[in-house]
Amino acid sequence: MEPAEILKSAGGVLLRRDVIAAGATDTDIRRAIRSGHVVRLERGLLALPGADAELVAAGLARSLLTCASAASQYGLWQLQPPPRPHYWQSNGRSAARCVSHRLPLTQQAHHRTLAALPDVLLHALLCLPELESLVMVECAYNRGDIEPSFLFRHLNGNRSGKARNVVSQVERGADSLLETLARVLFREAGIATETQVWIDGIGRVDFLLEGFLIVEIDGIAFHLEPRQFKKDRRRDNQAVRHGLPVLRFFYDDVVYAPDSVLAQVREVLARGSLRWPLPNQPRFRLDWA
């Protein structure tokens, strides 16, 4: 097997001995380096040209990318990129320039520079602020990549209380990290919050608060397509005709001004429902369990 193909299947960065173990010879490797198909990063470490910079750095550190640093590799929701790389390390190297994780792995690593997704999530739960780890776990759960039961089984230590609390908040149905953040914001404020609710004559709404206030969350990829924009506004109009007020919030509102979001929600809730429920207007909650 060609060294470049071996490297490609392993994320682009490998120890020379692993390339040889996968079927390449020293002659194959030297030829690939001369042709430019493979780069020698340092003694014993090879990479593809243009390999992911984060994976290259992990390879140079003889570490696995994990926790917040692995979120983008797995396409997980993330509030912000980490200021320092997060590595799983078992080689005793200095951790001065990174956040070092040494919890025993539960799964075989995805490849030589990237921890398996279950371990990435466990490391995040034990390391990051609650909201940052929650959005990562909830993204994986909604995609069907992880089950809370697995995480609970590996969070049984005395120092895992915070992590278990985060996992207990994970729910099915959120379409984006904004919906997760908004749900936590409303519930921590003591507001009765239903998610992904179907209302006859209106359709599915992101949130129904206290049984009558509809809240919709418009993310970064807001509906700028004219047809969808019109559909959303007509649905808002229909909700108001049914006596249900509607509030819409955007990325900047939820992430950077949550206090303002809560103030607006509480102002509307304080007025109470206008005339809901109307006769012959049943509503149904979508079951995401």
CATH of the domain at 231: 3.40.960.10
What pLDDT score does 139 carry?
97
| pLDDT tens digits, 228-259 | 566 666 777 667 777 789 899 988 999 999 99
3-state secondary structure of 205: strand
Sort strands 213-218 and 246-250 into parallel, antiparallel or unpaired. parallel
Confidence class of residue 288 from pLDDT cuts 50, 70 and 90?
Answer: very low
Q: How many distinct structural domains can be found in the chain?
A: 3
Which of 35, 51, 67 is where one domain is finished?
Answer: 51
Residues in contact with 145: Cβ distance below 8 Å, sequence separation at least 6, in sequence order: 74, 117
62 and 40 part of one domain = no
Residues 282-287: what's their mean pLDDT? 47
| pLDDT tens digits, 209-222 | 999 999 999 875 55
Q: How far apart are CA 248 and CA 227, in angstroms?
A: 18
Using a pLDDT cut of 90, give the percent of the chain over it.
70
Checking if the pLDDT of 74 tops 50, the result is yes
Q: Return the minimum-mean-pLDDT range out of 189-198, 201-210, 216-225, 238-247.
A: 216-225
Confidence class of residue 173 from pLDDT cuts 50, 70 and 90?
Answer: confident
103 and 187 part of one domain = no
48 touches 4 (CB < 8 A): yes
| pLDDT tens digits, 93-142 | 655 689 999 889 999 998 889 999 999 999 999 999 999 999 999 999 99
72 and 30 part of one domain = no
What pLDDT score does 1 carry?
82
Most distant pair of Cα atoms in the chain: their distance: 81
Confidence class of residue 201 from pLDDT cuts 50, 70 and 90?
Answer: confident
Checking if the pLDDT of 226 tops 90, the result is no
Task: Calculate the average pLDDT of the chain.
Answer: 87
274 and 189 part of one domain = yes
Closest CA to 137 of 117, 153, 115: 117
126 and 188 part of one domain = no
pTM (2 d.p.): 0.84
What pLDDT score does 289 carry?
41
What pLDDT score does 203 carry?
83
Q: Return the minimum-mean-pLDDT range out of 33-42, 171-180, 215-224, 250-259.
A: 215-224
Q: Return the minimum-mean-pLDDT range out of 79-83, 238-242, 276-280.
A: 276-280
163 and 224 part of one domain = no
Q: How far apart are CA 205 and CA 20, in angstroms?
A: 55
What pLDDT score does 202 carry?
83
151 and 231 part of one domain = no
Residue 261, domain extent: 177-285
Checking if the pLDDT of 65 tops 90, the result is yes
110 and 183 part of one domain = no
Name the burial class of residue 206, with classes exposed (0-12), middle (13-18) and buried (19+) by CB atoms within 10 angstroms of its CB: buried
Which of 168, 196, 218 is where one domain is finished?
Answer: 168
Which of 120, 146, 168 is where one domain is finished?
Answer: 168
What pLDDT score does 95 carry?
55
102 and 73 part of one domain = yes
Question: Within the chain, where are the H helices?
Answer: 3-9, 16-21, 26-35, 53-60, 117-127, 130-142, 148-153, 161-168, 177-188, 226-241, 251-256, 258-271
Q: How far apart are CA 249 and CA 176, in angstroms?
A: 13
Q: How far apart are CA 159 and CA 41, in angstroms?
A: 39
What pLDDT score does 97 carry?
83
220 and 254 part of one domain = yes
131 and 185 part of one domain = no
What pLDDT score does 275 carry?
47
Give 105's DSSP letter.
P
Closest CA to 109 of 43, 29, 16, 14: 14
199 and 241 part of one domain = yes
